[in-house]
Chains A and B, each alone.
Chain A
Amino acid sequence: MKSDSNLEKVLAGGHFAVTGELGPPRGANLEAVKEKAAHLVNMVDAVNVTDNQTAVVRMASWAVSLTIKEMGLEPNYQMVCRDRNRLAMQSDILGAAALGINTMLCLSGDHPSFGDHPQAANVHDIDSIQQLAMIKGMRDDGRFLGGDEIDTPPRMFVGAAANPFGDPFELRVLRLGKKVAAGADFIQTQCIYNLERFAEYMRQAHDMGLTEKTKVLAGVTPLKSGGMAKYMAKRVPGMDVPDDVVKRIASQPKEKQAEEGIKLLCEQIEQLKEMPGVAGIHLMAIEWEHKVPEIVERAGLLPRPKA
C-alpha cells in the first residue's frame, strides 16, 4: 500500500467505491462542519473537502479534513493551484500527512473572476498535473520538488479530477493519460449526466490502458429541481446535461422534482456499476448532505466495506 488511505484499501479490495463531498463553511463555525459530516459517517469511503471552491473564501480544507477525520471519516483533502505556490503546497502536504490526512486531490481551481475576491492574484505557480507529479515524487522518491531529501515522506494516496465533457473532446482522454503518467492513483470526474458520451470516454481510456493504471470514480450529482437542471445545462462551463434529462426533471410537478432527481441518479449509478473501467462513484450532493444516506441506501451501495 502506498498510504493508509481508506479509499486506497477499498479500491485495492476490488470494491465499487463511493466518495462524498463536503464544502467548508464561510466562517469559523466548526459545528456546521460536524453537522454536515455526521450525515456521511459509514455512508462513503472518503469525503472530498473542497478548497475555496468557486474561488470563494471558506474554512481551510486541511482544518475541515482533520475535523471530519476525528469523526471517523476519511478526508480527501483537495488542493487547488490557484492559491498556493510550490512552497506553500509542499509544507501543507507535510502538515496534512503528519496529522493523519492520507488522501489528496489535485486541482487547477476555478478562476478568481468567479469568486468573492475577483481582485486576487492568481498563483498558478505549477499546474494540477505538475502538482500531482510533485506529490508522487514526495511520496515515492522522498524528495521535494526542488530535489532535497524529505526526512519522513508523506504517504499520500493522490488523485486528480477529470472532465470528460470539456472541449476539445479528443484531448480529454489524452489529458487523462497525462494525469495517469504524472501519478494519479485515482480520478474523480466532473458530474456526468450524458452516460453515452461518458461510456465513449471510458472506452477510449480503456483502449489506452488507462483504466488499468488508475481507478476512475464517476462523478454524480442529484438534480434537486428543474431549475437546477437548467442551470447546470446552460451556465456551468464544461457540463453536458442532455435535453431529455432536463425535461424529465422539469416536467414533474415542483414537489416531485427532487424525488425524480434521486430516481434518475439511482438509475445512473446502476448503469455506472456495469460500465467497464468505472471503479466507483463520486457523489457530490451539494448542500444536500442529509440526503446521502437515503441515496446510497436506494442505490444499493450499503453497507460500505470496513477498513
Chain B
Amino acid sequence: MITATRKPMEEILKSVEPFSKILLLGCNECVTVCHAGGRKEVALLGAALRLGRLQKGLPMEVEELTLERQCDPEYVEELSRTIDQYDAVCSMACGCGVQTIAERYPSMPVMPMVNTAFMGASESHGVWAERCAGCGDCVLGYTGGICPVARCSKRIFNGPCGGSTKGKCEISNDVDCAWQLIWDRLKELGQTELYSKLMEPKDWRTARDGGPRRIVREDMAL
C-alpha cells in the first residue's frame, strides 16, 4: 500500500488560515489501512481543526467526507454538485488523491493534510516499512524476494557493502541489512548460486529516472 503520515497540526492550521469553510476529504483505500486518512482520521482531524480555529477566535466550518478512492475520477466526480460551497478541499489522501481533485476541480484550492511516504507493508501493529521503490523492473525473483532497491540504503545490486554488521545496516541499528536478509533467504531456498551471478547495471529508465511514468493499456480503451 501507499503509506502516509498526518502533517503536524501547526502546519495544517497555517495552511487553512485563509479559509472559513472547508471540505475535509478522506480516502477509503491505502491511507485508511495505514491509519493516516480514512474515516476515523477525518473525524479526529475535523474535531481538532474546529477546536484549533475556535481557540484562535476564528471559527471554521469543517464538512467531513470520505471517498471510496480519491485517485479515481469516478469517485471524485461525486463532489461536483456540492464542491462550490467550500473555500477549499483539505485532502487526507496520498498525493495521487490530492492531484486527482486538483485536476478535476481547477478553481478549487486543495491542501494536503498528510505527507505521502512510501510503498510498504505492515510489519507489526502500528509499524509500516518500505518494501517497493516502484523501479519498474522487478528483481525479486533473483534476490530471494527481498528488494535491494527499496531496502538497501545504497540500493546495491551486488551487496552487501562493508558496513553490514550483525544483520544491520551501517546507517542505523534499526535498519536491517537487505543483503543479509537476501543471503539468509537464498540459503533457505537453496538458491545461493544466484548470489555469484554478477548483477548488471540497472536500466533506471523504468524507474522515475526515465521521466514521469504512465501505463497505457490499449486493450482497455473505451
Contacts and interface: CB of A to CB of B under 8 A. Distances in A.
User: Are chains A and B native binding partners rather than an unrelated pairing?
Assistant: yes
A259 interface: no
A177 B196 contact: yes
Contacts of A303: none
A178 B153 CA distance: 20
Given A111-B171, A181-B198, A167 B177 contact: yes
B206 interface: no
Contact of A113 (B171, B200, B201): B171
A108 B164 contact: no
Contacts of B183: 168, 171
Nearest to A127: B156
Interface footprint category on A: 35 or more
A166 B200 contact: no
Interface string B116-145: 000000000000000000000000000000
Contacts of A161: 162
A233 interface: no
Contact of A237 (B154, B157, B163): B163
Contact of A166 (B163, B171, B201): B163
Nearest to B167: A167
Main secondary structure of the interface of B (DSSP, over half): loop
A252 interface: no
Interface string A37-57: 000000000000000000000
Given A174-B195, A177-B196, A181-B198, A166 B164 contact: yes
Contacts, number: 101
A238 B165 contact: yes
B170 A238 contact: yes
B158 A130 contact: yes
Contacts of B160: 166-168, 171, 175
Contact of A125 (B162, B184, B204): B204
B83 interface: no
Contact of A124 (B156, B170, B172, B199): B156
B189 to A, nearest CB: 16
Given A114-B170, A129-B157, 19 more contacts: A86-B201, A108-B162, A110-B163, A111-B154, A113-B153, A114-B171, A122-B154, A124-B154, A125-B204, A127-B159, A130-B157, A166-B165, A167-B160, A167-B177, A168-B184, A175-B159, A175-B160, A178-B196, A238-B163
